Amino acid sequence: MSVTSPLRSVAVRVPATSANLGPGFDTLGLALSAYDELTITGLPAGELDISVTGSGADEIPVDESNLIARTVRYAYESVGVAAPGLRIDARNGIPHGRGLGSSGSAVVAGLLAAKGLLEGRAEFSDADLLRLATELEGHPDNVAPALFGGLTIAWTDDETPRHTKLLVHRGVAPVVFVPDRTMSTSTARSVLDPAVSREDAVFNLSRSALLIAALTQSPELLMAATEDRLHQERRAQAMPETDALVRALRAEGFAAVVSGAGPSVLVLADGPGRRLEAAALAERHTGGTWQALMLAVDFLGGTVREPAEGASLHEL
């Protein structure tokens, strides 16, 4: 492939994610089939042109503070190459500020764009991408599924982020209920206790292990597997409507959890029919004010390609 030209363009697509999945706090993440899609073009140094449509378009900055632009510069600096100017055309399908990994997906989009723009001049391994994304985002549980797709388990080993990817049982049918208000991750974290009891720690360890089995082999175990004692009850005070919906759904046998830091609610239904029942219950409970997103598990993760080509330069 030829050396990057100043006007080279890449097309990037990154899935939404839902982290924690109940008991797997800061560890488990799932890629979902809502997407941010971007075309990013290299310009002469110092130039910046950002256009955003879709979710969050009115709030996302279009100057040097833009997260995608900052991430592209960070990736270039990491390999010792001067960053170009950028034209960013973003079409956001991931609800912003609602617990579906929008900031992590923006970081992943910037890293994949840099990888594509630098093709032939610098290389980024999967480990490089996860490390850089974690440095920028702070936690690997959201960026890992955005990068690699599927169900991911993320951890750190000697301060190095690592992950493994698992395939989700085809009987698992996700549905996300999205309110019209947002919640910042920092606010959601501020209400958490700094210490937990041994009993609660063991409880969550057992449920997290069970959740892996439920998602990969035995969806009928999802109700028990999504129980949590570490974060959801403590966050209820910051998002009472979310807590009320989770409780209403679980009372009727649906495996409902807070999606990421909230305020969206994720239901891991054990079949398409069950998620339709969950949607009907949620509509009655909320008066139809929450949007129901019937999603699939995204198994591919983030991709980058040349806009005129069908083949990806990078598929994780």
User: Could you list the residue range(s) of the whole structural domain that residue 101 is in?
Assistant: 9-166+298-315
Q: Which pLDDT band holds residue 4 (cuts at 50, 70, 90)?
A: very low
Backbone angles phi and psi of 159, in degrees to 5: 70, 10
Q: In which order are the strands placed within the sheet that holds 265-269?
A: 256-258, 265-269, 173-178, 291-294
Q: Which residues are annotated as a binding site?
A: 95-105
Comparing 64-78, 171-185, 292-306, the range with the smallest average pLDDT is 171-185
Locate all alpha helices (DSSP H) within the chain, ordered by sequence.
67-78, 102-117, 126-137, 140-148, 185-190, 198-216, 222-225, 232-235, 240-251, 272-286
Spell out the residues 6+ positions from residue 229 whose beta carbon is closer than 8 angstroms to its own: 23, 196, 200, 203, 204
pLDDT(316) > 50:
no
Do 145 and 227 fall into the same domain?
Answer: no
Report CA torsion sign: 166, 169, 170, 174. Answer: negative
User: Quick one: pLDDT at residue 302?
Assistant: 98
Do 73 and 30 fall into the same domain?
Answer: yes
Do 141 and 25 fall into the same domain?
Answer: yes
* Nearest of 21, 30, 18, 17 to residue 211 by alpha carbon: 21
Tens digits of per-residue pLDDT, 223-266? Answer: 999 999 887 887 778 899 999 999 999 999 999 999 998 999 99
Comparing 108-112, 156-160, 176-180, the range with the smallest average pLDDT is 156-160
CATH of the domain at 94: 3.30.230.10
Q: Are 246 and 265 in contact (CB under 8 A)?
A: yes
Domain count, the chain: 2
Q: Which residues are annotated as a binding site for ATP?
A: 95-105
Tens digits of per-residue pLDDT, 96-117? Answer: 999 999 999 999 999 999 999 9
The token pair at 257 is 């959890």
Do 288 and 302 fall into the same domain?
Answer: no
CA 15/CA 301 separation, integer angstroms? 6
Do 195 and 92 fall into the same domain?
Answer: no
User: Quick one: pLDDT at residue 189?
Assistant: 53
Residue 255 included in any domain? yes
